[in-house]
Amino acid sequence: MAPDDGTRTALAGLVARYGLGEIQDEQLRALLRVLARDERAPTTVRSPDMAVEVHLADSLVALELEVVRSARTIADLGTGAGFPGLVLAIGSAESEVRLVESQTRKCVFLNDLLAEVGVENAHTVCVRAEEWQDGVGVQDLVVARALAGQPVVLEYAAPLLRPGGSLVDWRGRRVAAQEDEALRAAEELGLRRVEVRRVEPFEGARDHHLHVYRKVRATPGRFPRRAGMARKRPLGAASDRDRR
């Protein structure tokens, strides 16, 4: 399925909006072509007219944040089909991006995708986020989109960040109770929320927010807990406080 005129116009708008070059333009086009034809792609959004907004625009919008533009080591947790990490690697060619994914079949797809699109500054790490020891304490930036509840994402991200590093977590509609739980979890993990940025990645987008946390203290050595515990017993919840 080749991109139609509407898709080409939308893509040209993204290239102009973020000041991307010809090589980046072609890489984004190649990414859309692979998604459209490769049935292994682990996403339900594969048609170019939808993917240009849902995947490309929604990933690139993070370039509005200085912490993203300036990051040199980036880890995308639970990257799936490569979003947002692969698109950020294209949009920020000076960065080194690690696409962290635990499912082998997705890792195989990602390796093939990277080769076909020609992205040399992104690499697949096929491991659970909690078990990625080589990534601990060295990431300028951790990103996550549609991965898990925010306290879970915070627990995955905090040990990986260097002091002063940042997490950017993609979220939809704001829910006060959920944000309160996340703030309690952040306090325990040595993180502080510094911004919730409402963004409009494409025309008509509603309830799109980027939650930005900074690592302000060392994360206690007990984190991350063993695989699966962050989801089973998320930090910050009332039940978690009651057990203490």
pLDDT at position 225: 95
pLDDT at position 238: 67
Which pLDDT band, with edges at 50, 70 and 90, does 2 fall under? Answer: low
Architecture of domain 57-242: 3-Layer(aba) Sandwich (3.40)
pLDDT tens column, 55-111: 999 999 999 999 999 999 999 999 999 999 999 999 999 999 999 999 999 999 999
pLDDT at position 239: 59
pLDDT tens column, 13-29: 999 999 999 999 999 99
Amino acid identity, position 96: E
| Average pLDDT for 173-190 | 98
Note whether 178 and 150 are within 8 A (CB). yes
Q: Which two tokens stand for residue 79?
A: 């990257």
pLDDT at position 243: 43
Note whether 162 and 215 are within 8 A (CB). yes
| Average pLDDT for 212-221 | 98
Average pLDDT, the chain: 95
pLDDT at position 5: 77
**In this model, does residue 235 exceed pLDDT 50?**
yes
Which pLDDT band, with edges at 50, 70 and 90, does 4 fall under? Answer: confident
Note whether 83 and 54 are within 8 A (CB). no
Cα(108)–Cα(129) distance, integer angstroms: 17
**In this model, does residue 231 exceed pLDDT 50?**
yes
φ/ψ (deg, to 5) at 109:
-60, -45
Identify any residues that bridge with 223 across adjacent strands, giving them in sequence order: none
